[in-house]
Structure 1
Amino acid sequence: MTALAEGVHAVCEGSTRDLEAVGVSVPATLDRGGKVVTWPGRPGWTGLDLAGSLDLLFPGTPVRYADDGDLAALAEAHAAGVRHLVHLGVGTGIGGGIVLDGRLCPGTGRGSCEAGHIIVDRGGPRCDCGRYGCLQAVASGPATLRRAAALRGGEVPFTELGGALARGRSWAVEAVEESCAALAAAAVSLAELVRPDRITIGGGFAAGLPDFAERVRRHAQRLARPGGPPVEPAAAALGGLSSLQGALLLARGPA
């Protein structure tokens, strides 16, 4: 929070009085009052009154905040010009968001779309949340790297995984394809519920690997059913900036 305050004052040249509104992209789970309920990757933040801290940082300025996955979906829908969209972001965890009729679902103040905690494998690995078989436990960046290391028999840095995948190394292909298959299962399941116009695959981990979204698309095609909704996952248009773009959209008005 100190670093955030320093950055804000540097950008605003010491004063936030001229700000019209602020949008904040938040990776943690917040309660209705804006307090951090859980953030598995940053347990020290649990209990922080984030809303109160932001009010102190931006006195007199409307501050709106939402889950980073939700905001990525909002930005991707805006960029694609569609009203209904599902977004899956692959990074340290799995973020996700749903936009229905141009608005976030379930909506700010009502929790976030925790697509990363859809269960895709009942016998799968333990997730940071404590459950087993969550999409995040199977398909996140760290989960994919752990699988690659087990298959290879040694540690695999992210930079090496991308090169090995491009060269068709069997251990890299198998590790990544398993993640893509799990993401496809989640995408197809969500499509059955909300019938989106578009499904996007984003996040830094996905963006850094060759043809990642295309691999997810191929797995999704194999799961198609007659009469079911068309599912064609595609790479996110905004890359790693989608959540921040979504925060700007949120600042302009309720989503």
Structure 2
Amino acid sequence: MAAAPPSWHLGIDIGGTKVALRAESADGRTEEHTFAWPNHEDGPDRDLALLSDGVATLAARTGDDFQAAGVAVPATVGPDEQVTSWPSRPSWTGLALGPALRALVPGAAVAWADDGDVAALAEAAAADCANLLYVGVGTGIGGGLVLGGRLCPGPRRGSFELGHLVVALGGPVCVCGRQGCLQAIASGPATLARAGELHGEPVTYAELREALSTARPWATAAIDGTCQALATAIMGVTELLHPSLAVIGGGFTAGIDNLVDRVATHLTHLSRTGRPALPVAPARLGGLSSLRGAVLLARTVADGAVPLL
């Protein structure tokens, strides 16, 4: 009798400072593994070796092969499957991403998409909302937009690069080379850098959280700048594309009390007559939106298609 096909689906979320993997079986079992993503410029070979070790770790736990894998990547990938840009990991530029990812999971169907895009898919499913804007605040700014249940603009036309929307002319320089991108103002590192400037010395994430809990003026001003920039970007998208809901997630957001409420306040100030502010809420999946989206991508590609894209 022929062996049953593998029933596990693998999601890989490649972030700025860590990589998270999640395997889900058809009968509801799950396995997860996370490892730190070293900051180096040795080229992609070492990174791919770490990814391979991570996949092997989960495969050993499942005791089975993977039917399909979905990968959330923050890089810009061209139609020829080559990485055209990844500012935080420039050594990956020119890498043939498709063959590299398929080699990690031999025999499995593999699909990849921007981390913000897959996070938007996962959050739209969790909220049962067909028109949803996702904003992820972490090492960078991830974004995704689902309209009518489908990603906008869709991977064939490119990812939804909310982090590189210019929200402040003449603002700080972004890793992409432009000035005033949302990411250069509202990402975790950008917020901590602004907090350090206002405080007069470097500030850690834990110190920022502690200072916010006691309403220290420098901390409040630093986070207010982040929330104002986020609200500006959300309002711009709202005026053009009219989502029904915005959700804010990401690892940085999770530890900052009232960040979503602060963004909502700025959105109210930016609203105009006859056009009320867009509702904004915390991401239902928290910092796991991209990882869950990667698993969702694996499940859909296992069926021989990538719907919603």
TM-score bin, normalised by smaller chain: over 0.9
Structure-2 residue corresponding to 1:82: 129
Using the TM superposition, give the Cα deviation of residue 246 of structure 1 relative to its aligned residue in structure 2, in angstroms: 0.6
For 2:76 and 2:62, how far apart are their aligned partners in 1?
29
Report SS of the residue matched to 1:89: strand
Distance verdict in 2 for CA 1:208–1:37, change over 3 Å = same
TM-score of the pair, normalised by structure 2:
0.79
Using the TM superposition, give the Cα deviation of residue 5 of structure 1 relative to its aligned residue in structure 2, in angstroms: 1.0
Structure-2 residue corresponding to 1:114: 161
Structure-2 residue corresponding to 1:142: 189
Choose which of 138, 146, 157 in structure 2 pairs with 1:91: 138
Structure-2 residue corresponding to 1:26: 73
Contact 2:55 2:105 in 1 (8 A): no
For 2:262 and 2:61, how far apart are their aligned partners in 1?
47
Report SS of the residue matched to 1:227: coil
Contact 1:69 1:113 in 2 (8 A): yes
Amino acid at match of 1:155: P
For the aligned residues, what is the CA RMSD? 1.6
Q: How many residues align?
A: 255
Structure-1 residue corresponding to 2:43: none
For 2:155 and 2:295, how far apart are their aligned partners in 1?
15
Is the counterpart of residue 11 in structure 1 residue 58 in structure 2?
yes
For 1:251 and 1:98, how far apart are their aligned partners in 2?
19
Q: Once the two structures are aligned, what percentage of the paired residues are identical?
A: 52
Bigger share in strand:
2
Question: Which 5+ residue runs of structure 2 have no aligned equivalent?
Answer: 1-47, 301-305
- Structure 1, 12-21 or 79-88: larger mean CA deviation: 12-21
1:193-215: CA deviation from partner (whole Å, max 9, x where unpaired) = 12112101111111111111111
Structure-2 residue corresponding to 1:67: 114
Using the TM superposition, give the Cα deviation of residue 17 of structure 1 relative to its aligned residue in structure 2, in angstroms: 7.4
- Structure 1, 119-128 or 18-27: larger mean CA deviation: 18-27
Amino acid at match of 1:177: D
Structure-1 residue corresponding to 2:180: 133
1:11-48: CA deviation from partner (whole Å, max 9, x where unpaired) = 22399974222111101111112211111111121111
Is the counterpart of residue 219 in structure 1 residue 243 in structure 2?
no
Amino acid at match of 1:109: R
Structure-1 residue corresponding to 2:250: 203
TM-score of the pair, normalised by structure 1:
0.95
Using the TM superposition, give the Cα deviation of residue 126 of structure 1 relative to its aligned residue in structure 2, in angstroms: 0.7
For 1:125 and 1:57, how far apart are their aligned partners in 2?
38
Distance verdict in 2 for CA 1:157–1:19, change over 3 Å = same
For 1:236 and 1:104, how far apart are their aligned partners in 2?
17
For 2:62 and 2:190, how far apart are their aligned partners in 1?
43
Distance verdict in 2 for CA 1:11–1:78, change over 3 Å = same
1:28-70: CA deviation from partner (whole Å, max 9, x where unpaired) = 1111122111111111211111111122222332111000011
Is the counterpart of residue 237 in structure 1 residue 284 in structure 2?
yes
1:221-241: CA deviation from partner (whole Å, max 9, x where unpaired) = 111112225412211111111
